[in-house]
Chain A
Amino acid sequence: MSAAPVALPRWADNALVPLVSAAAALLVAGLVVVGIGENPLEATALLLRGALGSAEGIGFTLYYATNFIFTGLAVAVAFHAGLFNIGGEGQATIAGIGAALACAALSAMPGFLSAAGFLAAPVAILAAAAGGAAYAFIPGWLQAKRGSHVVITTIMLNFVAAALAVYLLREIIGRTGSMQPETPDFPAQVLLTPMHRLLAPLGVRLPATPLNTAFLLALLALVAVWLLIWRTRLGYAIRTVGANPRAAAYAGISPAAVTMIAMAISGALAGGLAVNEALGVQHRLVLDFTAGYGFVGIAVALMGRGHPVGVGLAALLFGVLYQGGAELSFDKPTITRDMVVVIGGVLILFAGALDGLFRKLVAGVLGRGGMG
């Protein structure tokens, strides 16, 4: 990310600036709401009630947040290596295909499923991660060995993945006789347990929501990424390459190797989107299940400043916006859920590209106008 011309205390830089830009983005969204003739305060109240006002709402919110944690972490890990991975959508698509292929293989082995069914879900999850990792490794390799810019190649590969998915779902792994481009239902053993069913034996009664154990995986991924980036030698290497590739070479760290490894990790994390959606909720692979979550991940990573705590909080914010937005559009048909896409776009602009402006604003308010 760009160099900071304004010096700020760390707390302001890491917490206040993202908060101010998020608030400004919501303000812009409020103006759009006013523009289409609705009351933004009423809309906000409806949105919050829809997202957080009931156990069911919270369940949905956390289900959406799960997707954003995975895609946000994917972008964040690549950021730390100085790479901008815009290919989350494509990587999640291929991850879904990986999971679907694993499920097809497992379906063909009923003996294995009945004998060691508990292994089925981990196998499918690993297949998804491997699919995402492999598909992100390609632009990583192209960048490291051939100098092709990762931004352009990941954009191009998103479209290639989409075309590939259409072809495979229609011609090869699709449900026979179905007009929908989708796979047959996955075997029961690979499916992730919904939270309401997981917690029921403990006496916790929850309404049925799509929230499933993928959420726990996402929380685990947050911790794992924090450990990776700030507490491991690999993380040190990743951050060195990201901040100063020449210094990395001087330190005996191979920028090429780190680029490929970081992209693979990033792609594996993007694969978490397929785990939540395909294995956790839809129980089959449908076309376009990525639904833009990969792009919102960019907003999540930028607002979260690439730190797992920030990514978690930003993912939660977008979970609230998605779930609340769905409820809101039910009550107010003039406000569609695409409002969240607007907010995502504005937030990427404010927390990412206009970071300098917001840092200067915050610095001005704090009374330490820098030199900018």
Chain B
Amino acid sequence: MSTAPSPPAIALAGISKRFGAVAANRDVTLAVAAGSIHGIVGENGAGKSTLMSILYGFYEADAGEIRIKGQPRRIRSPADAIANGIGMVHQHFMLVETLSVAETVMLGAEGGALLKGGLAKARAELTRLSREYGLAIDPDALVGDLSVGLQQRVEILKALYRGAEILILDEPTAVLTPAEADQLFALLRALKAQGRTVILITHKLREIMAVTDTVSVMRRGEMVGHFVTATTSPPALAEAMVGRHVLLRVEKPPRERGAPVLEAVGLSCRDARGSETLREVSLTLHAGEIVGIAGVAGNGQSELLEVLAGLLQPTRGVIRLDGKILATADRHPARLRARGLMHIPEDRQRSGLVTAFSAAENAILGYQRDPAFGTGPLMSPQRIAAHARAAFAAYDVRPPDPALSTAAFSGGNQQKIVLAREIERHPRVLLVGQPTRGVDIGAIEFIHRRLLALRDAGVAILLVSVELEEVMALSDRILAMCGGRITGERRADAADERDLGLLMAGVAEEAA
């Protein structure tokens, strides 16, 4: 450290931002030293992305001050941010799939009314950057044809092309394998060595520890602490993130598993583009056990859930329920529900609920043909409301008002509506995707306890979660997935994070 410290690359003071009734950021203060890698951690919904969107000019803060290299700046649009040397790699890539890599990179910095000169410059500059940072890419390839990892590379090149001094990365590793993530971290270190400043947003403590110099923790829209990475520890950061000491170990008494209920043999699946999303996946669920799937998002877990739930037809493979092979016609959500296979989908807002409906109407989604809710083709609103009231009471859904629009409920309560709907029907097999995504701490514990109670009652549960800790805490057995394949199996009590990480990365693979 020099004796006369230069002003921080970025200094935020008193930043506040509200969206309607929700305070996304409250009086946030942050300082990032030039030439450092700074991490921002927090749970989903803690306000990290909003804060960075303010810094990048997507939103204007309701209050507060932004200083870049000591100078106060108003950043009202991404153009202002770019002019101030800020570049951002968004969680959902800001790419145009029908353009070439060179066209995408130069968008907004074309260097003239005609494209010709700009394109030549972009090609040359891309070649130079590729060489300098080892980011090989074909400037004339169509962005839509690139893999996710390469698309992220284009995002980074876009920022570097504009000469970004400050690079913000929002959850960059969510779509990367651990090996690709390590490559990315190497790049970030190289950028730092050149004196650039990097801000890394993540909710994974492992990444914070691996690559950052300093770290800030956010919780519920507020900044709760700043740490020097070398002198802090994951438990300390975790405690700051959730606001109290976290008990990641859930009380889980051992239990003898029962007979096999659901078996999948050699399931394969292709997406609309024709690439294989599931490859020869086989697994068995026994009564009274929780089988967890560990994997980086996008490695076939979603497809596995959807195939088992009858939402997606596999290209190969068989599924047995109670020992009997399911014919194609039987692999239909309604028929599977009738046979006791229930499904809590990964994204409740996208597929588990109709947010425009009343809560009562959502409490019967999937069971709309149940004779209990009407006579013949007619439905009975009274009976549906009564059913919802009972279910909401049992699951502590707040407010317990079945007539209220579902969009008015918090994430945790929406999830409880889904949970109540599926669990109250006494499933024998329960497929669970991301049960606690965007759910507050109290509801997380409630949901975990419910799932374990179901397991103890003899239900066969398949748990898919991107939170490795959740998978490890709840499961009896853990299957690791990578590239659509099951790369290994561990007993939960014998699993450790490093070992699972290797399986998730596909580095170590064993005959499943």
Contacts and interface: CB of A to CB of B under 8 A. Distances in A.
Interface of A: 7, 227, 231-237, 239-240, 243-244, 246-247, 249-253, 370-371
Contacts of B333: 249-252
Contacts of A243: 354-357
Interface in B243-257: none
Contact of A249 (B351, B357, B369, B378): B351
A252 B366 contact: yes
B219 interface: no
B353 interface: yes
A201 to B, nearest CB: 36
B345 interface: yes
Given A239-B357, A250-B311, A250-B345, A231 B351 contact: no
B220 interface: no
Contact of A251 (B19, B356, B366): B366
Contacts of B366: 250-252
A251 B368 contact: yes
B379 interface: yes
Interface of B: 19-20, 309-311, 332-335, 337, 343, 345, 350-357, 361, 365-366, 368-369, 374, 377-379, 381
Contacts of B310: 252
Contacts of A227: 378
Given A370-B20, A371-B19, A247 B337 contact: no
Nearest to A234: B377
B365 A251 contact: yes
Nearest to B338: A252
A235 B373 CA distance: 14
Contact of A247 (B354, B377, B381): B354
B392 to A, nearest CB: 19
Nearest to B357: A243
Contact of B379 (A236, A250, A252): A236
Given A252-B332, A252-B333, A233 B20 contact: no
B361 A232 contact: no
A351 B260 CA distance: 57
Contact of B378 (A231, A247, A250): A231
A233 B377 contact: yes
A247 B368 contact: no
Contacts of A371: 19-20
A249 B343 CA distance: 12
B403 to A, nearest CB: 10
A222 B368 CA distance: 24
A315 B185 CA distance: 64
A258 B273 CA distance: 26
A250 B352 contact: yes
Which 10 interchain pairs have the tightest Cβ spacing?
Answer: A252-B334, A252-B333, A371-B20, A251-B366, A246-B351, A250-B351, A243-B356, A244-B354, A243-B354, A251-B365
B365 A246 contact: no
A371 B353 CA distance: 24
A233 B379 contact: yes
Which of A231, A233, A240, A247 has the most chain B CB within a 10 Å cutoff? A247
Contacts of B381: 231
A225 B356 CA distance: 20
Contacts of A232: 377-379
Contact of A233 (B335, B343, B355, B374): B374
B151 to A, nearest CB: 24
Contacts of B337: 252
A115 B387 CA distance: 53
22 contacts: A232-B377, A237-B368, A239-B357, A240-B354, A240-B365, A240-B368, A243-B356, A244-B353, A244-B356, A246-B350, A247-B351, A247-B352, A247-B354, A247-B365, A249-B311, A249-B351, A250-B311, A250-B352, A252-B310, A252-B334, A253-B368, A371-B19
Nearest to A10: B405
Given A239-B357, A252-B366, 9 more contacts: A7-B20, A240-B354, A247-B353, A249-B311, A250-B311, A250-B351, A251-B333, A251-B334, A252-B335
Contacts of A240: 354, 357, 365, 368
B103 to A, nearest CB: 28
Contacts of B352: 247, 250
Contacts of B356: 243-244
B280 to A, nearest CB: 25
A244 B352 CA distance: 10
Nearest to A246: B351
Nearest to A248: B354
Nearest to B405: A10
Q: Which of B334, B351, B354, B365 has the most CB of A within 10 A?
A: B354
Contacts of B351: 244, 246-247, 249-250
A247 to B, nearest CB: 5
B353 A233 contact: no
A371 B21 CA distance: 9
Contacts of B361: 236
